[in-house]
Amino acid sequence: MIEEIKDYVFYMITKEYPCWKSEGFMLGIKRFPNCVEHEKYFGWLKDRDPVFFEGISNDWYTGLVQLTKDGNVLFANSAIEIEEVEKRLYIVFLPSFLSKFQVKELRKHMDEIEGLTILVDVEGENRADFLRKINEKDYRPVEFLKRYLQLYEEKNENVTMVEKEKQKIKCG
C-alpha cells in the first residue's frame, strides 16, 4: 500500500545512497489533529535519524530547502491547522536533478498529487530556470511537475542506454 502524502506534514523521498546500498527511501511525519506547529513536526522528523539531518537548520523551511538542495524531494503541508484536505496547500520541493527512484516514487503518487492544491519549488542549479518558468502566464504547478518528471524519465532512459552501451564495449 502506498502511503498518502496528505496524511503527512513532511514527506521526503530521499536521493540514492550508494554507501547504504539504498536506492532511496521515504521518510515522513504524519499529521496529528492537536498539533499545528511546523517546528515541532520538523524536530520530530530530524529526531528520526540524527545522522541524516546533521547540519540541517532547525528552521523547518530553511531545513527543507537544504535537504532539497542536497538532492531529496520533499512535500510540506503548509496549513497543518486545516482539517479539510481539499483546502490545504502542499509545497513540493524538487531538487535540480531527480533519480530514477525519485521519479518512480513521484509517479506512484501522481493521482493523489493531482487532487491536492500544490505549489512547486525547485532548488539547486535549475532554480533560475524554474523561476523564469513560474512567471509565465500558463504556469500550472501540477502540469509543471508532470513535465519535470517526463524530462527526468527521458534523461534517466538516456543514461541507462549509455551505461548499457559501455557495458557491451567492456564485455565485447
Tens of pLDDT, residue by residue over 79-100, are 999 989 889 999 999 998 888 8
> Is 33 exposed, middle or buried (CB count within 10 Å of its CB: 0-12, 13-18, 19+)?
exposed
Tell me, rounded to whole angstroms, the distance of Cα 1 from its chain centroid: 19
- Asked whether residue 163 carries a pLDDT value surpassing 60, the answer given is no
Q: Which helix (H) or strand (E) holds 119?
A: strand 117-122
Calculate the dihedral angle through the C-alpha atoms of 113, 130, 42, 105, rounding to the nearest 10 degrees: 40
The three cell numbers locating residue 115: 487532487
What is residue 17's DSSP assignment?
Answer: B
The larger pLDDT score, comparing residue 108 to residue 52, is at 108
The residue length of the chain stands at 172
Mean per-residue pLDDT, 20-38: 84
CB 136 within 8 A of CB 81: no
